[in-house]
Amino acid sequence: MFPGVNGFHWSPVHIIFLSAFGLVLSVLLVTLAVAFFRTLRDVRSGRAGAIAWHCDFEDLPRQERLCRHAFEGAAPGRLCDRGFDCRDCETHPKFATIETRWPVTLPAGLEYPETRLYHRGHTWVEPQPDGTALIGLDDLGARVFGAPEVVELPAPGTKLSVNGAAWRMMRNGASVSVRSPLEGEVIAHGAPGGQWQLRVKPEAGERAFRHLLSGAEAHAWVNAETDRLMILLSSTPTGAALADGGALVADLHQALPDAPWDEVSAAMFLNC
Amino acid sequence: MADMAWVPTTMLDRKFVPRGVTRCTPARFSLWLTPWCLLLGLGLWAAYLCLRDGLLHTNMDNRFAFGLWIFLDLAIIAFGGGAFFSGVLLYFFKLKELNAVIRSAVLIGFLCYSGAVTVLAIDVGQPLRAWFTFWHPNAHSMLTEVTFCITLYLCVLAVEYLPVLLRNRQFRKIPSFLVFEWELHKLIPVLAGIGAFLSFFHQGSLGGLYGVLRGRPFAFRESFGIWPTTFFLFVLSAMAVGPSFLLIMTRVAEWVTRKRLVLESVYVRLARVSGWMLTFYVLLKSIDTMVWLNSTSRRGGFLPWEYYSWEPFGVWILFVEIGLFGFVPALWLMRAGKVNTSWLIAPALLACAGVALNRYVLTVQTLSLATLPFDEFLSYTPSWQEVAVFGGVVAYGVIVYSVLYRYTRLFPQEQER
Amino acid sequence: MSATQKTSRTPRRYGMVIDLDRCTGCGACVIACAAENNVAPGAARENDRNSISLLRVFTLNNPTAAGRRTAFLPMMCMQCEHETPCVTVCPQQAVELDVLSGIVEQMPQRCLGCRYCMTACPYHARSFNWGDPSWPAGMEATLNPAVAPRMRGVVEKCDFCQSRLHAAQDAAAVNGSLDPGIYTPACVEACPTQAITFGDWNDPEGALAKSGETFAWLEGLGTQPKVRYRSGQNWLHEMAERGGAAPAKEERHG
């Protein structure tokens, strides 16, 4: 390589040739380095959760990416293209004004109080008078997962981002990451086995809750979700089927121990 | 009892299978892999023999210094050209349909190239000296250009495939992996760009490899600047068969998995692109052949009929390459959308056969023909070791492709059905 | 010996003229070449297609029925001068054309064994070491200490006995000169009929310049070989002017 060593000699062709390849190699290395440093920057600035959700959302099966207005009939079959973040969605306000066409009754036995707001990842949010909000698993989510063996809550002070990871729970080999319904800072943990898991100080303003479901809209969504759960359970090799019209048991996990709970929980909690 | 043994494997297996798609049982999957693993084992044994004792295990000789390995390497590198060309079409010409096959294309490209490099490492007499090319490069040699480009391009393909791997169900649980994937994916056009640059030069140099052989009038061609016409013909033919090969592989994947993996429109798009490029290539190839037979070759003192008067390499081989394997598939592929899509695999196979025949003729016929007026026409039959090493590389490709199909999302449209 | 003498070494273009009318086909040159260059004796698996043959002797037959004649053609590396086919293709400069001697040098220690040079050579003058060279017990003692044996997996070819050139350079240096002059390769030395003349094409007074009308094989390729031939027989000239092998079976040797 070096002039004079073992008779190697440089020519202008060598210089052109090696510069061209040196350039290509540097472009490749610079690209990798840029991606690496941007990753560091994203992780440090707390954008990791949002980006991970973006990637996850792309890989979700089609039926899990339906727009919230698909359930109540305003936009049947419409796919969401914003990662379930309706806060800045331009079409959401327009669809919201359309009157629902489909009558909705909540599946028997499920409780979805009107005082709470619901997130597509099966959590509820209850705004408190002091400006904080409580977060817990919704009724269907609680019945699917039952009593978790381990719950890993984020330390107080942790910043949550919408759809990012809120907490992790494990049971009998199945492990899910529960998606955060709100953007904000974790203030306190709920009592183990209690109704709520996290107390959060959300970002200020009405906008913070715009992407959450409530009332009849939430009921329509729960209806669709119950159907989806039944399809998931009936298509598994265990052959377990839930009789239509009957009430869901409190702990499905216990009732159907052989079902592939890893799969089913991942599907219900929008894990990839 | 046998079922019980599978339970932990099944559990582990399911943890890696992407959610929302169905895969066969691990037992069935192992059954599919078994013959390929045996073939890979045979290939490894043959490769070991060649590395242990030298290349006397092959039937190559001083005249047939290149043989089966070089011919097949050239062919699979042309087929792997689909990786760079679909990247160019997707990221620079915005043919969004190709999103459905780009991951598979990158993986196929990587397997073709890494397989070819592996065979080359066994084909050369002193593989441990491969780095000498980087240390004492002869910038005038086409082979130097090939070595530099392919080495770098393999790295580019590996980096291009990295995002798909990082999206595996288990890897993605580490949030920074997904963030890196996301940041890298935003820069993919840069990688596609340098991939295209490198592919242009090495596909070309592989053709140039023969076109510069002044001492082999059958291969020697006119030059534009420093590059002979075969340089440009190889680039074009790789661009022509790359999409065809992708079409074939996707169809084969659909047959093996018994699933629809991409929309029909993707096949039509691949076929049309392939058809247009093939037409362009075959036209230029015809002109080049006429110039070579009537001018280049005569100047060296060689008459065209001399090349084609040795059985089995008669003139028919020229007509088969340009006509049956050239114009016929080109016109057929261009009519994609108007003809039955499920039949498009036929012209795609013809197109691939044509380019493989081109590589075969340039490698084998070039070496068979004597240059000295009193010398003999020679033939050569590869040894089992040569065939086995190549079989092993094919098995390697099938195994890696099957495993990555099972555990990563190669076809984004798969779950939509 | 002054500094100007050192820098003003006149480049030589060593070459040969082989008189085909003198060659009897005895093969002494082939043996001398193999012995000089430490070519291992052929293993059982070897044949004329995969053995190491730096110098070969072909039998040529007169194609015309009338006046049937036979000639013998010794062929080694032709040391091509112009766009030397093997030099331009080698990816790692293991083949070089030495501007001071005109010899195409082969460096086996740098050779990767890709064999691209072998496909490039129009004279098929190159050999590849397909296996490890081996000498029967005791025969190692006959090895020429001036030439390094080659390992398996590398290409080799005739280099006009470069070890003898180096010896000539050393001898010249002792006498205070840098010019090795005209030395004698092994095949030239061994030829009983003195059919091979070795000399310098740059020397207008030398033996090559005086060898009269000569021809080369495959001159149409434009590689300007420095090994040339002479013969008084027309059919040999005509054969050399033709390009590739003629397909008619009776015309070919073999």
Nearest C-alpha of chain C: how many angstroms from B245? 28
Closest CA–CA distance from residue A6 to any residue of chain C (Å): 10
Q: Read off the pLDDT of each residue in B41-54 and give the average, rounded to a whole number.
A: 94
Summary mean pLDDT of chain B: 90
Q: Is the pLDDT of residue C7 over 90?
A: no
Q: Give C55→chain B minimum CA distance, Å.
A: 13
Mean pLDDT value of segment A135-146: 88
State the chains in contact with B (3 or more Cβ–Cβ pairs under 8 Å).
A, C
Among the ranges given (A135-144, A225-234, B47-56), the one the predictor scored with the smallest mean pLDDT: A225-234
Mean pLDDT of A139-160: 87
Rounded to an integer, the average pLDDT of A62-79 is 84
Q: Is residue B239 pLDDT above 60, yes or no?
A: yes
CA A129 to chain B, closest CA, distance in angstroms equals 34
Give the number of A-C residue pairs with CB atoms closer than 8 Å: 4
Give the architecture-level CATH label for domain C11-242. Answer: 2-Layer Sandwich (3.30)
Report the pLDDT averaged over residues B311-329.
89
Put simply, the answer to whether B19 touches A49 (Cβ < 8 Å) is no
Residue B417 has pLDDT above 80, yes or no: no
Q: Is B35 on the interface with C (CB under 8 A)?
A: no
pLDDT of C245 strictly over 60:
no
Q: Is B225 on the interface with A (CB under 8 A)?
A: no
Asked if A16 and B139 come within 8 Å (Cβ–Cβ), the reply is yes
Look at B14 and A173 and tell me if their CB atoms are within 8 Å.
Answer: no
Whether residues B217 and C120 touch (CB distance < 8 A) is answered with no
Between A136 and A214, the higher pLDDT residue:
A136
Which pLDDT does position A271 carry in this prediction?
86
Nearest CA in chain B to C62: B374
In angstroms, rounded to a whole number, what is the distance separating the alpha carbons of residues A109 and A185?
33
Structure tokens at C218: 């495959």
Kindly indicate the confidence band of residue A40, based on its pLDDT and cuts at 50, 70 and 90: very high
How far, CA to CA in Å, does B341 sit from each of A200, B243, B262? 56, 15, 13
Helix (H) or strand (E) holding A150: strand A150-152
**In this complex, is the C-beta atom of A247 within 8 Å of any C-beta atom belonging to chain B?**
no
pLDDT of residue C2: 40
Inter-chain touch C110–A6, beta carbons under 8 Å: yes
Residue A102 in tokens: 């489909």
Q: Are A171 and A164 in contact (CB under 8 A)?
A: no
Closest chain A residue to B157, measured at CA: A28
Q: Rounded to a whole number, what is the largest CA-CA distance in chain B?
A: 77
- Alpha carbon C227 to its chain's center: 8
Reply yes or no on whether the pLDDT at C1 is more than 60: no
Phi, psi (5° rounding) for residue B249? -65, -35
Mean pLDDT of A58-71: 85
Mean pLDDT, rounded, of chain C: 87
DSSP B198-256: HHHHHHHHHHHHHHT-TT-TTT---EETTEEHHHHHHHHHHHHHHHHHHHHHHHHHHHH
Q: How confident is the model at residue B1 (pLDDT cuts 50, 70, 90)?
A: very low
Q: Tokens standing for B225?
A: 């600047």
Q: Which residue of A has its CA nearest to B163?
A: A55
Q: Please list every residue in chain A whose beta carbon sits closer than 8 Å to the beta carbon of residue C93.
A: 7-8
For chain C, strand residue ranges (E) read: 14-19, 56-61, 70-75, 95-97, 104-106, 127-128, 155-156, 196-200, 227-230
On whether any CB of chain C is under 8 Å from the CB of B8, the answer is no
- When comparing pLDDT for C154 and A96, which is higher? C154
Residue in this structure with the two tokens 């003729």, named with its chain if needed: B361
pLDDT at A19 over 70: yes
CB < 8 Å to B54, chain C: 129-132, 152-153
Most confident of A49-53, B165-169, C169-173: C169-173
Whether residue B126 and residue C112 make contact (CB cut-off 8 A), yes or no, is yes
Q: Please, which pLDDT band fits residue A242 given cuts at 50, 70 and 90? A: low
Asked if A42's CB is within 8 angstroms of B144's CB, the reply is no
pLDDT, mean of residues C239-252:
56
Of A1, A25, A64, the CB nearest to B135: A1
Strand (E) or helix (H) holding A170? strand A165-171
Residue A251 is encoded by which pair of tokens? 């702990």
Contact assignment for B215 to C122 by CB distance below 8 Å: yes
Identify the band that residue A100 occupies on the pLDDT scale cut at 50, 70 and 90.
low
Best to test chain A binding among C88, C90, C93 (most A CBs inside 10 Å): C93
**pLDDT surpasses 80 at C250:** no
Instruction: Give partners of A (≥3 CB pairs < 8 A).
Output: B, C
Domains parsed from chain B with CATH numbers? 26-416 (1.20.1630.10)
Least Cα separation, residue B115 to chain C (angstroms): 17
Q: Is B147 on the interface with C (CB under 8 A)?
A: yes
> Mean pLDDT lowest for which of B306-310, B412-416, C152-156?
B412-416
Q: What is the pLDDT of residue C248?
A: 41
C91-131 pLDDT, tens digit each: 988 999 998 999 999 999 999 999 999 999 999 999 999 99
pLDDT, residue C25, reads: 93
Which positions in chain A touch B135 (Cβ < 8 Å)? 1
Residue B376 DSSP one-character state: P
Instruction: List CB contacts (< 8 A) between A57 and chain B.
Output: none
CA–CA min distance B188, chain A (Å): 9
pLDDT above 90 for C193: yes
Q: Which residue, among B383, B384, B296, has the nearest Cα to B64 in the 3D structure?
A: B383
* Residues of chain B above pLDDT 90, percent: 61
| Amino acid sitting at position C117 | C
Question: Among the ranges A93-97, A105-109, A120-124, B38-42, which has the highest mean pLDDT value?
Answer: B38-42
With an 8 Å Cβ cutoff, are A28 and B15 in contact? Answer: no
Residue-wise pLDDT tens digits, B351-368: 999 999 999 999 999 999
Which of C60, C154, C246 minimises the CB distance to B125? C154
What residue in C sits closest to B301 (Cα-Cα)? C243
pLDDT at C247: 43
B223/C88 Cα distance (integer angstroms): 15
For residue B179, give the nearest of A31, A43, A260 by CB distance: A43
In chain C, domain spans:
11-242
Q: Does A29 touch chain B (CB under 8 A)?
A: no
Is residue A166 within 8 Å of residue A180, measured between CB atoms?
yes
Judged by CB atoms closer than 8 Å, whether chains meet at A39 and B180 is answered as yes
Task: Give yes or no for A178 touching B (CB within 8 A).
Answer: no
* ipTM score assigned to the predicted complex: 0.89
Give C87: exposed, middle or buried? Use CB within 10 Å, 0-12, 13-18, 19+: buried
pLDDT score of C209 more than 80: yes
Chain C positions touching chain A (beta carbons under 8 Å): 93, 96, 110
Can you tell me the mean pLDDT for A100-113?
77
CA distance A133 to A2: 69
- Determine the residue among C49, C112, C227, C237 to mutate to test chain B binding: the one whose Cβ has the most chain B Cβ atoms within 10 Å: C112
CA-nearest residue to B127 within chain C is: C112
Would you tell me which residues 342-381 of chain B have a C-beta closer than 8 angstroms to some C-beta of chain C? Answer: 366-367, 369-378
Cβ atoms of B374 and C253 closer than 8 Å? yes
pLDDT band at A235 (very low <50, low <70, confident <90, very high): low
Highest mean pLDDT out of B388-392, C69-73, C134-138? B388-392
